[in-house]
Structure 1
Amino acid sequence: MKLFSASVFLSMIAATSAQQGEYFNEIMIRDDAVHNSLFQSPLPHTYIDADDLPDSFSWGNVDGKSYLTKSLNQHIPQYCGSCWAHGALSSFADRIKIARKAQGDDINLSIQFILNCGTEAAGSCHGGYHTATYQFIQDTGYVPYDTCTPYLACSAESTDGFCGKIDTSCSALNTCKTCDTFGGMGGKCTEIDFFPNATVAEYGIVDYDSNDKEGVSHKIMSEIYSRGPVAATINAEPIVKYTGGIFTDENYSEQTNHIVSITGWGTDKESGTKFWIVRNSWGQYWGEMGYMRLEMGKNLLGIEGEIAWVVPGTYTNHNFACYEDGSNCVSHDTYVDPSNDLVAMKRRLTNDKKKNGNMRG
C-alpha cells in the first residue's frame, strides 16, 4: 500500500489528468492515516469456517428482501472524485440497515458533510480513502444523515463547475440546516444543532496475503456475511465500458484508483466461477443496474487488496417532535455486533447452506 502526502498526490493528479484515456485517480492516502482503529470485536473469519459459507450470498436479496441502501451517483450534479466517500458511507449505511432488519425508512449518510469538513483528514473531490473517512467520523464524533446536507459534488478546493460559487466550508450551517420558505418572503436558512447522526465504533482493513488468496476470500466473505458490505479499492480503467457479465480478464493492473463496495458474492451455475457482487457509484445506467460481477480469489483489478470494514456505534432511530431549530429531536440505538451472538450466526450459516443445496452429508 502506497502512502502519499497531499502535495505529492496533487502533483500526481496533474500528471494523471494530462494523460488522455486514463481514469482519474480518486484515491489519496495521507501519511498519517490510521487504517485499523483499536477494536475488541472478534474478526468474523475467526468464528466462521470457510466450508460453512454458502456458494452464493447477497445482502441485496436475503429471502426476497434487500438490506442495501440506495444506489449512488458521484457524477451528479457534476463530476467529483468522491468515490472513496460513496463506497465508505454506503457500506456503513447498509450495516445500519442490516442491524435494523430493514425496518423503517433507509438511513443514508451525508457524503457532502465529509467533503465540507473532512477535506484535510478524509479527502475531497480530488481523492480520498475509505478508512480515512471512518477515522474522520470517529474523531469528529458523528456523521449527519443526508437530509441535513445533500450531495453537491463540491469541496473547498474545487473550482469545477459551480463549486466556486457555493459555500462548502466546514461550519454549523454546512453540517446540518433547514431553510424556511422563500428568501423574498422573509425566509432564511438556519443551522440545526441537534440532528440525526451515526457514529463509528470500530473500523479496519482485511489483511491481504498474495500467497493465500483463498484465505483472503474467506476473510472477506466472512466479514460480508457476518456484518455487512465492505468498501474496496479497484482499478477502474477496465470497467469504464463494462456492460454486464462476469469480469474475468487477468491482463489488467492491480494498481487501484477508485473505491467501490462489495455487497455479496455468487457462483455461476454453468462455469462454476465464483464472483464478487460489486456496487459502484456511477448511477444505475452503468453496468448491471449500477453493479458488476467480478471473479473472486485472484485480486483482479486489485479488488481484494484493500478491503475496509466498519462497525457502527450509535445511530439515530427516532426523532421526537421538535421546533424548527431542531430542539429535542434525537434519540439513539446502539449497534449490536453479530459476533456477540455466535449461536444465531451458526444457525444462519446452516440455513443458508441448506438453501444453496450444498449441505455436507
Structure 2
Amino acid sequence: MILRLFSVLSMAVATTAVSRMNEIMVMDGHTVRNDHSSPLPHTYTDSEDLPNAFTWGDVNGVSYLTRSLNQHIPQYCGSCWAHGSLSSLADRIKIARKGKGDEINLSIQYILNCGADVAGSCHGGWHTGVYQLIKDKGYVPYETCQIYTACSAESTEGFCAHVDTTCSAANTCRTCNTFSSMGGACTEIDVFPNATVAEYGEINYDVHAIMSEIYQRGPVAATVNAEPLLGYKGGVYTDTSESQQTNHIVSIVGWGADKSTGDKHWIVRNSWGEYWGEMGYFRIAMGGNVLGIEEAIAWATPGQFTVSNYPCDEDGKNCGKDVHLYVDPSTEKGLTVQRRLRGEAN
C-alpha cells in the first residue's frame, strides 16, 4: 500500500509522447521520518561560520564524494530515492574515514529487494524510508553482496520478470562459484560487510539548516522537480516560474557563489550517469525553493561500517548455511524454483 503517490508527468520528446513516472512516494510502512536525539548542526552553527562556497567534492584538494551512478541501467527503474539516500550515506562514511581506504558503496539492490513496504520500489519511494529500513533491519550490505539490477518485485521492465527479488538470504548477500554447465552453485553469505545508520531525519524549507547539515556532517538527499532538468546542459538553473512539485530525489553535496553577484547555488549530484549535465551534476539557485529543491531534505549519520571482513572462501561455503545449484531464472524450472522460494503453489 502507498500513503502518497504524486501524479504521473507527461512530456514530449521530438514527436514521440513519453510518460515520465513520478519517482516519489511514501510507503505505508514508513512510520518514522525522524529518529535522532543529538543536537542538530543548525543549532550550533552560526551563519557567519558557513563559508561562501563549500563542496565535499573539493576539501583542500580532496574529494570525499563516492562515485556517480545511473539508476536507468540495465533498464529503467524509478529508484532515485534509493540512489540519493545511499550515495549521501556512503559519502558520510567516506568522510568518517577521512577519505582513506577503498571506497565503500552500499547495495541499492538490497533496498529494492527488501524495502517495498518501508522504502520503495522501481515505481518510487522516499529517502528517509531507506534510513528507517536500515535501522529496522540493522544493516545495509555493501554493493558487492547485491549488484544493482534495476529490478523490484512488481517491475516487468526489461529482464525483471525473470529476476527473483524476494527479500531472502540469497538476495541479501550471495556469490556464485562457476558456470552452471560446470556444476556451479550459488551460496548465501551470512557474514558480510555492511553499514548501519545511527540517526536520521528531515529538514524542510530551511536554507540555514540545510547548509549547516551539509557543512558539519556531509551530503544530504533532496527532492526536486526533475522535468525541467531533463535537457539541462550546464550552468546555474534559476527559473523560478517552473513548478515546485517534486518528483525526483538527488544528493546535495555543497554550494557555490557567483563571483560577480555573490548569488549562491546548490551543487547537486544526480543519478543519471556522467553523460548527463555537468558530469552527472547540476547547479541550482539557492533560496526560494527553486524546483522544490529545499522542500524535503533527508540526512543520516553512519553508525558502524565494516573495514575488516571475515574471510570467506571464494565459493562462500564457509560463510553460508545454504548452497543452491544455479538454475536459470528465465526457464520453467527456474520459475518453479522461484515460486517455491516465495512459498507459492506450483
TM-score using structure 1 length: 0.83
Q: Do 2:29 and 2:117's aligned partners in 1 also have CA atoms closer than 8 Å?
A: no
Return the offset for 1:6. 2.0
Residue 6 (str. 1) matches residue 19 (str. 2):
no
- The AA in structure 2 aligned to 1:29 is V
CA 1:267–1:22 in structure 2 vs 1: closer, same or farther (change >3 Å)? farther
Q: Does 1:50 align with 2:50?
A: no
Match of 1:306 among 278, 281, 296: 296
Q: Say whether 1:128 aligns with 2:125.
A: yes
The match for 1:217 is 207
**Residues 34 and 131 of structure 1 are in contact (CA less than 8 Å); yes or no, is this contact kept in structure 2?**
no
Q: Say if 2:4 and 2:25, in contact at 8 Å, map to a contact too.
A: no
- The question of 1:29 aligning with 2:26 is answered yes
Asked whether 1:272 is paired with 2:262, we answer yes
Structure 1 position 258 matched with structure 2 position 248: yes
Output the amino acid matched with 2:89: F
Matched, 1:174 2:159: no
1:236 pairs with one of 220, 226, 232:
226
After the TM superposition, which of the residue ranges 18-27 and 282-291 deviates more from structure 2?
A: 18-27
**Aligned to 2:35, which of 38, 53, 58?**
38
Kept after mapping to 1: 8 A contact 2:11/2:18 = no
* Residue deviations 1:184-225 (CA, integer Å, cap 9, x gap): 1122111100000011111000143xxxxxxx2111111001
Report the AA paired with residue 53 of structure 1. Answer: L
Aligned equivalents of 2:4, 2:198: Cα separation in 1:
31
Give the Cα separation in 2 of the matches to 1:164 and 1:322: 31
Structure 1 window deviating more from structure 2 (197-206 vs 181-190): it is 181-190
Q: CA shift at 1:91, angstroms? A: 0.1
* Contact 2:33–2:129 (8 Å) recurs in 1: no
Q: Using a 3 Å threshold, how does the CA distance of structure 1 residues 84 and 228 change in structure 2: closer, same or farther?
A: same
The letter of the residue matching 1:283 is: G
Change (3 A) 1:151 1:297: same
User: Which residue number in structure 1 is paired with residue 138 of structure 2?
Assistant: 141
2:76 alignment partner in structure 1 = 79
Structure 1 segment 45-124 matched on structure 2, within 5 A = 45-124=42-121
> In structure 1, the residue corresponding to 2:25 is in which secondary structure?
coil
Give the alignment's TM-score, normalised by structure 2: 0.87
Pairwise CA distance, 1:8: 6.8
Distance 1:194 1:128, change over 3 A: same
The 2-side partners of 1:37 and 1:301 are apart by 24
Identity level (%): 63
Gaps of at least 5 residues in structure 2 are: 321-346
What is aligned with 2:274? Answer: 284
Does the C-alpha gap of structure 1 residues 8 and 38 become closer, same or farther in structure 2, counting only changes over 3 Å?
A: closer
Indicate yes or no: 2:312 matched with 1:315. no
Aligned residues: CA RMSD:
1.9
Distance 2:317 2:276 in 1: 38
Question: Which residue number corresponds to residue 337 of structure 2?
Answer: none
Distance between the aligned counterparts of 2:188 and 2:82, measured in 1?
23
1:325 to 302, 305, 316: 316
**Structure 1 residues 181-220: aligned runs within 5 Å:** 181-208=178-205, 216-220=206-210
Deviation at 1:30, TM superposition (A): 2.6
* CA distance in structure 2 between the partners assigned to 1:111 and 1:260 by the alignment: 14
Q: Secondary structure at the match of 2:145?
A: coil
Q: Which 4+ residue blocks in structure 1 deviate beyond 4 angstroms?
A: 15-22, 326-329
Q: Measure the CA separation in 1 of the matches of 2:32 and 2:184.
A: 44
2-structure distance, mates of 1:121, 1:31: 7
Q: Aligned partners of 2:192 and 2:275: how far apart in 1?
A: 33
Deviation at 1:181, TM superposition (A): 1.6
Please report how far the alpha carbon of residue 41 of structure 1 lies from its aligned counterpart in structure 2 after TM superposition. 1.3
Deviation at 1:56, TM superposition (A): 0.5
- Cα deviations across residues 37-57 of structure 1 (Å, max 9, x unaligned)? 331211001111011110000
Aligned length: 315
Aligned CA distance change for structure 1 residues 7 and 310 (closer, same or farther; 3 Å)? closer
Structure 1 residues 226 and 75: alpha-carbon distance in aligned structure 2, compared to 1, 3 A threshold: same
Deviation of residue 270 (structure 1)? 2.3
One-letter amino acid matched to 1:59: W
Instruction: Provide closer, same or farther for how the CA distance between residues 31 and 165 of structure 1 changes in structure 2, counting only shifts above 3 A.
Output: closer
Task: Select which of 141, 150, 154 maps to 1:153.
Answer: 150
- Partners of 1:310 and 1:8 in 2: how far apart? 22
Does the residue aligned with 2:307 lie in a helix, a strand or coil? strand
Specify whether residues 139 and 186 from structure 1 end up closer, same or farther in structure 2 by C-alpha distance, changes over 3 A only: same
Counterpart residue number, 1:346: none
| Higher-helix-fraction structure | 1
Q: Deviations over 1:97-120 (max 9, x none)?
A: 000011011000000000011112
- Tell me if structure 2 keeps the 8 A contact 1:60–1:67: yes
